[in-house]
Amino acid sequence: MCELLGMNCNTPTDICFSFAGFQQRGGATSVHADGWGIAFFEGVGARVFLDPQPSFRSPVAELVRNYPIRSKNVIAHIRKATHGRIALENTHPFMRELWGRYWIFAHNGAVPGFGQVNHDAPAFCATTEAAAQVFNDGSGPQPVGDTDSEAVFCWLLRQLRQRFGATPPARDELFSTLHELTLKVGASGEFNYLLSNGDWLFAHCSRKLAFVVRKAPFAVAHLADEDVSVDFAELTTPSDRVAVIATTPLTDNEEWTTMPPGSLWLFEEGVPVAQAPTVPAPPRKEETGSAAVASAA
């Protein structure tokens, strides 16, 4: 499987400290040695660094680790390949344009129904015609590589374009629609992901994600994967807020919040502002009883 790292802030912030620990998981302290990537939003622009080498020995990763790029939204990924060969075009995060903005996406898990670029239908496409419409409508973003992750990302953006046309939705409507689409995709596989358009960061926990919000009073943080500490009180102002999202906690002396499996989160200005479940609610006892009586009859 892969690992994810995201950051959402209320003021442009560098991710050098968190990335230093994350980088080690790409082949040094963990097995995710099949490539890595990171994307930084800067205004309406985005910098994307990708390398199919393991991050722990990648010269590009060393550049990123020591280059304090300031951003309000960052998405990073280290890969353990399960679908698609090890290649630059299959390295996360992926970037596409929608509504005149860049969108960045990284995925951890496997969604078998979205494999083989444009040829396999997702599980919820009941007919060949539906599958053809999903993958080959002739417009909108298309996959370049052969991962299920990139295919899902392109499908999500095409669904948003078809739903809203040329006018981007407001934040809450976008969250609601992503929730609906995530339910569909999640039904066919494991769908941990991070998605951002530079304004907001969406995080879906299918099985494993956690986050920490750093705000005043700031304290010293220590990495779990490397003996490195930083005193954020020396680097921040009292109004700063930084949310860091990771597959597993990056520090061993901070209180991380474990996201419930099957939950979609929206981060804005360094805090979570919305959450919705993506697993069906268990039936209430009286509903279960009624069903049992009907069955017995």
Q: Could you list the active site residues?
A: 2
* DSSP code, position 62: H
Judged by phi (left if over 0) then psi (alpha if -120 to 50, else beta), residue 15 lies in alpha
Instruction: Return d(Cα 206, Cα 195) in angstroms, integer.
Output: 14
Instruction: Return d(Cα 38, Cα 51) in angstroms, integer.
Output: 9
Within 8 A by CB and 6+ apart from 131, the residues are 120, 121, 122, 125
Please count the other Cβ atoms lying within 10 Å of the Cβ belonging to residue 121. 20
**Cα–Cα nearest to 199, from 291, 81, 72:** 72
Instruction: Return d(Cα 277, Cα 287) in angstroms, integer.
Output: 20
Instruction: Supply 104's token pair.
Output: 């960045």
